[in-house]
Every structure is written in structure tokens, then in C-alpha cells.
Chain A
Amino acid sequence: MTISPDLDHRFREAAATLGLVDVGYDVVESPVGPLLVAASDRGLASISFDPEPEGQLERLARIAGPRVLRSSRSVDDARRELDEYFAGRRHAFGLSLDLRALAPFTVSVLQELAQVPYGETTTYGALAARAGRPRASRAVGTVMNRNRIPIVLPCHRVVGATGNLVGYAGGLDRKTALLRLEGAIL
């Protein structure tokens, strides 16, 4: 017996409204492709360039708890801010972030990363210095590569010392597109 989409939708939204979900997720369309966005009661927990939830549900459960459920309401705030960002109307995100289950070094690097302004770039070395570990640019690269909240935590604004883009977990095309949107490159 198949569940009607309406019944399915009503259950998911009721669960989110009643606060019974540890982490809710949904797909958000964007100019750099569909994003799988996930949020807990603490805030935005994950943005993935892979929109297929298979294989990601376990990861989300490890962050926030086993009650992982798809629901559009859970990501309403994130969807709105992302839409505004991609429309060029938002230069800073106001979303609170869920950085649970990350190592202290990772958190301190991501907090410094969050300070890099819209439309500007910085280097791995400079970010390492600002996190108090000037020689850890390679470790900063790893943190960028594993950044679980890309776009909002702007690892696309981190480039090599010579100005080359180096790499991006979501692919260099996306990094280029984001920097172009922000006017950081032509």
C-alpha cells in the first residue's frame, strides 16, 4: 500500500513542528546544483553537493541523533537565506550553526573562516595564522576539504598563496561559480 503524498507530507511537517526531529533535511535547488541541506534545533548542520540522502543519513544521525527525517519546514530558514545569497541580495548569513562532533581545532578554523568577508579571498596560510597555528596551512586545507557546511562557511574564499584556486570538495567549477557570484573573480 502506497502512502499518499499528502499524508506523508502532513506527518513530516507535524513531526518538525512539534520539535520531535533531531535533524531534518531537504533538497534546496541552487545555481550550483541541488543541495542536501540539514538542520537541527541548534542550527544548520550540513550542506552537501550530493543531493541523494542515501549514505548521508547515518552521518547526520552521528551529528545530531537518530531522529533524522526529511521535511521542508526544517530547512525553511536555510532555504530562504540561500535563495537570497544566490540572488545576490545577501552578503552574510544569519543562520546559527550546529558544529557538534567536530574537533576543537576544526571549530576554531571554521570560526575564523566565517569571518572572511563576502567578495574577498584569503589563503590557507593566512587562515592558519588567524587560528593561532601559522604553520598548519596543510591541516587548514584538510578542514576546508571536510567542511560540512560549505557556502555558508565560505571555504570557497580560501585560495592558494599564488592566487590559484587549488581545490574544492564540490569541484572547482562550483568554487569558480561562487567566487564569480560574489564578484571576487571575473
Chain B
Amino acid sequence: MATVAIPPFELFYEEHRSEVLRLLRRRLGAQRADDAFQETFLRALQAYRRLDHAEHLRAWVLTIAKNVAVDTLRRARPESELVETGIPDNRPAYEELAPLTDGLPPTERAAVVLRYGYDLPYDQIAAALGSSEDAARQAASTGVRRLRRRTTS
């Protein structure tokens, strides 16, 4: 059986974005669906290079969307809200981190945001960065040290 080549991400995104948004709106309502939409396709981008064939892409992205919806609902539960007192509004953590990490070297910035904004494990960060797990861990810790120096100086 011939392997189907992975399409350029733009085509994949254009083909599936409506259905993904529809699913997220059904599960989360219009307001929360927008953030979940962005997170779904950012997660898809992170994993896209590791795909070895283009079969079941629709099922694959809908699975990611469902996982994001579950994570969103879990974050919104009252008992977890008690722990998240440090966060002033409902913006997802990765948006909080974006301005803070501005100016970090790109790899360190991506590692910090993926680790502390998305809570991704290092093996997935490594895959997203195209580096080893050790290098991803190193990039995140160097980035955090750099941020710490910047905030204390």
C-alpha cells in the first residue's frame, strides 16, 4: 500500500478548521471554543512533522480537539479554580507567557512556552523543536534562568 504524503499544513488546516470549531463550540460554547481552537491547531502543528503518513488526518485532528475540550473543562472546574488564584483572567497560560518570553532566543522561548504554558512533557517538546529530549530540557531551563535574571536585574 502506497503511503499518502502529508499535505502542506495550510491545506490540512483549511480543510478541517470548520469542523474542529463546530465540535469545540458544541462542547464548550462559543466563548471558550476560540481559545480551544487555537490550542488544537497549535498542538497539531507540534506533532505534524512526526506524522509518517497522511491517513486518518481528520480523525486525528478531531481527537486532538476532543482532548483540548476535556482539558478546558477540567481547568474550568470549581475545585481547580481555587488553586489557580495567581491567574487574573481566563486567558490560557500560553498567552500569559507570550509577552513575558518576548526577546528570548526562539528555541528557548518555544521550550519555555510549551513546558510551562502548555504543560507538555519534554519528549513532545523535543519532537516539536526537532531536538533531543535533553536539549529540550536544557533550552527550557536556560530560558527560565534568563527570564529570572531579567526580572531580578
How many A-B contacts at CB < 8 Å in the complex? 73
In the complex, which of the residues A7, A10, A11, A60 contacts B8, with contact meaning CB atoms closer than 8 Å?
A60
B107:A19 contact, CB within 8 angstroms = yes
| Closest chain A CB from B111 CB (angstroms) | 10
Residue total for A at the interface (Cβ-Cβ under 8 A): 27
Let me know if B27 is at the binding interface, CB within 8 A: no
B8:A68 contact, CB within 8 angstroms = yes
Q: Complex: how many Å from CA A70 to CA B46?
A: 16
| Closest chain A CB from B51 CB (angstroms) | 8
B37:A69 contact, CB within 8 angstroms = no
Known contacts A65-B49, A67-B49: A11-B38 contact under CB 8 Å: yes
Let me know if B65 is at the binding interface, CB within 8 A: no
Known contacts A15-B41, A18-B110, A19-B110: A1-B18 contact under CB 8 Å: yes
Q: Complex: how many Å from CA A67 to CA B49?
A: 7
Residue total for B at the interface (Cβ-Cβ under 8 A): 30
Q: Which residue of B lies closest to A15 (CB)?
A: B45
Q: Which residue of A lies closest to B23 (CB)?
A: A1
Let me know if B6 is at the binding interface, CB within 8 A: yes
| Closest chain B CB from A50 CB (angstroms) | 16
In the complex, which of the residues A1, A7, A57, A66 contacts B38, with contact meaning CB atoms closer than 8 Å?
A7
Known contacts A1-B22, A11-B38, A68-B9: A21-B45 contact under CB 8 Å: yes
| Closest chain A CB from B40 CB (angstroms) | 9
Neighbouring B residues of A61 by C-beta, 8 Å = 8
Let me know if A182 is at the binding interface, CB within 8 A: no
In the complex, which of the residues B13, B42, B48, B49 contacts A18, with contact meaning CB atoms closer than 8 Å?
B42
Let me know if B17 is at the binding interface, CB within 8 A: yes
Q: Which residue of A lies closest to B95 (CB)?
A: A14
- Which residues, 67 to 105 on A, are CB-close (under 8 Å) to B? 67-70
Q: Which residue of B lies closest to A62 (CB)?
A: B8
| Closest chain B CB from A162 CB (angstroms) | 43
The chain A residues found within 8 Å of chain B, CB to CB, are 1-3, 7-8, 10-11, 14-15, 17-22, 41, 53, 57-58, 60-61, 65-70
Shortest beta-carbon contacts, A-B, top 8: A57-B8, A68-B8, A20-B45, A19-B110, A61-B8, A67-B9, A19-B106, A66-B6
The chain B residues found within 8 Å of chain A, CB to CB, are 6-11, 13, 17-18, 21-22, 25, 34, 37-38, 41-42, 45-46, 48-49, 94, 98, 106-107, 109-110, 113-114, 128
A-B contact pairs, 20 of them (CB 8 A): A2-B18, A3-B18, A3-B21, A14-B38, A15-B41, A19-B106, A19-B109, A20-B45, A20-B46, A21-B9, A21-B45, A22-B49, A58-B8, A60-B8, A65-B49, A66-B8, A67-B45, A68-B8, A68-B10, A69-B13
